[in-house]
Amino acid sequence: MEERSRDSSSKPQNLHLLQRIKGFTRSLLEDLCIRHCLPSVTLDRYRNYCSDPTGNWYCCNSNLLNGEEILSLEKESHAYRLDALLRVLLIVQTLLQENKHLSKRDIYYIHPSVFSEQQVVDRAINDICILVKCSRHNLNVVSVGKGLVMGWLRFLQAGRKFDCMRSPSTSHPIPMHVEEVEDVMCVAKYILVVEKETVFQRLANDKFCEKNRCIVITGRGYPDVSTRRFLRLLVEKLCLPAYCLVDCDPYGFDILTTYRFGSMNMAFDAKVLRVPEIRWLGVFPSDAEKYHLPDRCLLPLTPKDKNKAETMLQRCYLHREAPQWRSELGIMLQRGMKFEIEAFSVSSFSFLSDEYIPSKIQDGVYI
Amino acid sequence: MAISSARKLCQNLIALAIQRCRISNNLCRLSILLKSPPEFNPPLLRVSISDTGAGSSLAEFKCMNCTSTQVSAETWDGVLSITTTSICDNEIHHYSLSFKETIATRRLSRLPTTPKNGRKFRQVGSEVSFTTQENIDDFVVWITQLCQKISILKIPMVAIELLVEQMNGPGSRCDHLLLAKDGILLPLSMPSIERLASGLEDYVLKHGNAVDKECQECFSSREQLKVGRGVACSGQSVKTTVQMAEAVIVITEVPESSNFSCLRACSKMTEVLYFQDFSPCSIPQLSLNALASIDWQSYGLTLISNAEDEDGCTILEWENLSPFTCIHIVLHSYHKEYPPSIIMKTNNVQNNLRTIGILKNQPVLTPQMHRRTQCDRNLVKKAVKIALDDLKAKYTGLFLSSHALKIRGYAPDLSRAIAGLILSSNDKDFQGECASLLGLQPVDINGEGIVDSCIKEKIIGVIEMNDIKPKYVKEYAPHLFEDNSIQKEESQDAEDEGEDILDL
């Protein structure tokens, strides 16, 4: 358990959350002892998009509170979920009282046989966030850092100095406690977010940051909370444009939307996790012809890919806020082909860093 | 071995005798006398069923028929001797009914009557006898069990005796094998369901009458038995006959220290004792279907099979029943108002005789009988469910539904977590508040496991309370006994369980 501070009383946020947890515990006892009914938990239900088949996408706002979910002991599936929720809540209460931090994985290993899989803990944490109306990091629960950053950036985190500028092409892990990041200094012109670590390493090898005065971030696939919060912090504090480079396939597109609109799983916290300013730099379906990619690099969309793309086309936020993105996704589906960013390395290893990205940014070929 | 027609005949003659006793509305005695005259070789057994009830109506026997082939293939001689008189008769009538006679109109022979000589009061009743080649020892075992089952009913104002007349040597000796007199000893005001419950308790305490006295080794007191009662009845109006169904369920838990023979009496099988109009009989298929269609899972029971054995007994087989637990069920379907009309009486006889295969033509079910069969089915199911709910309500934790059992499985973990939230809090005021809610003293908070067990107890209590269906209350509501209420409830019930809706 990572100790951050010895005195919990110095954290008004912790006291506030502890008060809510006690209120919740009290309500469970009142159910049992006063109302003589089984304890139940009412959770607000959130979604960050809808898929209204009638086409009425404009009635749905982001972070829409979408009714309530009642977890009741009357249902066996709920009983298990409540059990997990209470076990995690007990851990969270201890963390807040002692002002210590644990990762989601640490929590899983406290009762591995009960939780059975990490997803059970993740859902319990999300439920608790909704219950006590806070973000996950407020619970002193962190995820094992997955994201990487490099470039013209320097900051402090809990007194520790992260000086990326000393070696702009060296990767640094994105800090877990983003709320403790301070004194951010930067001389970059933009932030580039890449989907994959392989591309990140390619850019590092090509000393892309040194040549282009930028910051490069990767979430290594679907970005975790820390990566998204860190990106949002940089965009807000530095007011830099952010571009995103993902594979030309439905999963790359979904990762792109996660950065911009947030994920459905954490819709309750989308407000602090999304980066609406991010722009799609590539790769677009039309890039295959534009850059004369060989046919061997083009792969047919699988039925699963098609299904995912068709489902995503229905998302209301694409209709409302990113029609151009939606249109590119439609083209991808229509052509039935996908390809990866690495396809641009076929003619030259450094094509991506020397030509593709700089020219796109310079010419404003992003949407 | 399938039950012989002589035994079936005997069973039906006893049923008719019981009806005559009920009709008389006076204290009655039903005697079953077995005689084996030594002069016959091979030995014959004379079975005589006599009662002091209302005199016999010949209508009971006129509809009886049986081919000579059937008679010759059977162990009885095809002849019934009937002696009967009623209180208004001046004579005692004697008849002989021969099923060997192929022409139906010639079967009944009127024999010379015996004058009563003005002694009207004592000489009321009937005696029907027949002779069979059945082995007397086997027959005694069978009829003893039959009479023990009948004694479960504790029929009001009816005493039953079973006698065997030993005729060895110069004299004869009469042994009382059974005397069931509870029917006349119990207060007349005692409801039928209470008699039935008491009878089943007696039966269970003697391990299904496998032992002569109550088994003290297994049951130190009657209070050990868990007894559920259920009564359902059809609507009562000018047009409808009041039809009743009663169910008693007794749960026993034999101590592990019981001897082997006691433990054998306890099994995953339940013999359903079924009575129709105060006589034991096989459970009708429709009622058996109704029994099988009960949502046993909602009582935490899993019914593996239901079948009728070769003796006509219905056996229910359970899954996951504790090896020391046994379920006993008795069902009784009958007309509440008696004496029933002669038409109904004839119908009963027809029913009984049809089952033993001695009616010449299979009569078409009259609408009245059809209605009654359907009604029985629904009432039996309803009565059993009420009895199960009664058990559930009276004995905490008994017959928890499968669902409730699963939910209850979470109680220890949930209570531990909630207790943890309280005990690990660094807010003493909050802890005191929680202790107060739980009905504990603040000092109890620090007691090991006290908060945890208190919360667990409360969770389990609510689960058990929730598992008792609200309809338990409804079923005892007065409107149940009003006209047509049962039809409405049954239709809803059938819809709930996906069954055909019966138009009663």
What is the ipTM metric for this complex? Answer: 0.80
Mutation site, A31, A33, A94, interface B, largest B CB count within 10 A: A33
Cβ atoms A37, A72 nearer than 8 A: no
Which of the four pLDDT bands, split at 50, 70 and 90, describes residue B119? low
Catalytic, A108? Answer no
Mean of pLDDT values over B28-43: 83
pLDDT of residue B62: 60
Mean of pLDDT values over B19-42: 84
Mutation site, B462, B466, B467, B469, interface A, largest A CB count within 10 A: B462
Mean pLDDT, chain A, integer: 88
In our burial notation (b when 16+ CB lie closer than 10 A, e otherwise), range B454-468 reads bbbebbbebbbebbb
Tell me how far the alpha carbon of residue A340 is from its chain's centroid: 21
Tell me how far the alpha carbon of residue B334 is from its chain's centroid: 11
In chain A, positions 306-365, which contact chain B (CB-CB < 8 Å)? none
Distance CA(B274)–CA(B286), nearest Å, equals: 13
Cβ atoms B154, B196 nearer than 8 A: yes
Classify residue B204 as exposed, middle or buried by CB count within 10 Å of its CB (0-12, 13-18, 19+).
Answer: buried
- Secondary structure class of B210 (helix, strand, coil): coil
Which of the four pLDDT bands, split at 50, 70 and 90, describes residue B497? very low
Cross-chain Cβ contact A90/B439 below 8 Å:
no
Cross-chain Cβ contact B459/A93 below 8 Å:
no
* Residue scoring higher pLDDT (B4 or B415): B415
pLDDT of residue A207: 92
Mutation site, A22, A94, A110, A114, interface B, largest B CB count within 10 A: A22
Cβ atoms B217, B460 nearer than 8 A: no
Distance CA(B294)–CA(B185), nearest Å, equals: 36
Q: What is the interface size between A and B, counted as CB pairs within 8 Å?
A: 85
Q: Which two tokens stand for residue B10?
A: 């005997």
Residues of A in contact with B469 (CB under 8 A): none
> Which range, A251-265, B58-72, B170-184, is most confident?
A251-265
Q: Where are the domains of chain B?
A: 5-185, 192-399, 403-467
CATH number of B5-185: 3.30.565.10
Q: Give the CATH architecture of domain A2-38+73-142.
A: Orthogonal Bundle (1.10)
Cross-chain Cβ contact B414/A93 below 8 Å:
no
Candidate list A49, A80, A108, A109, residue with the active-site label: A109
Q: In percent, how much of chain B has pLDDT > 90?
A: 20
Which of the four pLDDT bands, split at 50, 70 and 90, describes residue B48? very high
Closest in A33, A73, A87 to B438, CB measured? A33
Q: Where are the domains of chain A?
A: 2-38+73-142, 148-363
Which residue in A269, A286, A22 sits closest to A129, CA to CA? A269
Cβ atoms B136, B6 nearer than 8 A: no
Phi, psi (rounded to 5 degrees) for A192: -110, 125
Secondary structure (DSSP) of A34-48: TS-S--EEEEEEEES
pLDDT of residue B103: 75
CATH number of A148-363: 3.40.1360.10
DSSP code of residue B113: E
Distance CA(B266)–CA(A29), nearest Å, equals: 42
Helices (H), B230-320: 260-265, 285-292
Phi, psi (rounded to 5 degrees) for B262: -65, -45
Owner of token pair 């608790």: A128
pLDDT of residue A292: 87
Secondary structure (DSSP) of B350-408: HHHHHHHT--SS-PPPPHHHHHHHHHHHHHHHHHHHHHHHHHHHHSTTTT--HHHHHHH
CB within 8 Å of B489: residues ≥ 6 apart: B382, B475, B480
Residues of A in contact with B430 (CB under 8 A): 22, 25-26
pLDDT of residue B72: 52
B489 pLDDT above the threshold of 50: no
Q: From its phi and psi, is residue A350 left (phi > 0), alpha (psi between -120 and 50) or beta?
A: alpha
pLDDT of residue B490: 37
* Residue scoring higher pLDDT (B185 or B65): B185
A300 pLDDT above the threshold of 50: yes
Q: Which amino acid is at A77?
A: S
Closest in B427, B458, B463 to A33, CB measured? B458
Which of the four pLDDT bands, split at 50, 70 and 90, describes residue A234? very high
Whether chain B has a CB inside 8 Å of the CB on A25: the answer is yes
pLDDT of residue A349: 84
Mean of pLDDT values over A315-339: 91
Whether chain B has a CB inside 8 Å of the CB on A118: the answer is no
Question: How close, in Å, is residue B389 to chain A by CA atoms?
Answer: 19
Mean of pLDDT values over A181-197: 92
Mean of pLDDT values over A152-180: 89
Residues of B in contact with A76 (CB under 8 A): 403, 406-407
Classify residue A156 as exposed, middle or buried by CB count within 10 Å of its CB (0-12, 13-18, 19+).
Answer: middle
Question: How close, in Å, is residue A176 to chain B by CA atoms?
Answer: 27
Pairing of strands B158-166, B91-98: unpaired
